[in-house]
Amino acid sequence: MIGRLNHVAIVVPDLAAASGTYRDTLGARVSAPVDLPAHGVTTVFVELPNTKIELLHPLGSDSPIAKFLEKNPSGGIHHICYEVEDILAARDRLKAQGMRVLGDGEPKIGAHDRPVLFLHPKDLFGTLVELEQA
């Protein structure tokens, strides 16, 4: 059911510094920052030949990742994102198998302007998983 790895998301305390490290030190292609008010984050994507790294920074004090950064002041891996062909079919199949979908269970539009859902980390061995419609 899951397809390719779309991205690994890393919360960072300083988006400009993290972007610079990936661009200038590691030689990666790095996007401009994009604010996503509906998700409470600012994102930057690091393009790799086989996937992407999503750098996340809180957008406002009520950002869902602000608490993550409080607990992990240096930042860290936040979630991984897999592509699925049909997000509603994937959601229904996973829910039928006992997986918990976070929020109201309805897809939201993510950073790539595609529908996304998040699965509860307790159901996936401590890892927050995002599903994105391919």
Q: Which residues does the annotation mark as catalytic?
A: 130
Q: Could you give the CA distance from residue 43 to residue 88 in angstroms, rounded to a whole number?
A: 25
108 SS3 class: strand
CA distances 26 to 29, 30, 67, 78, 81, Å, are: 9, 11, 28, 21, 22
Phi-psi region of 74 (alpha: psi -120 to 50; beta: other; left: phi over 0): alpha
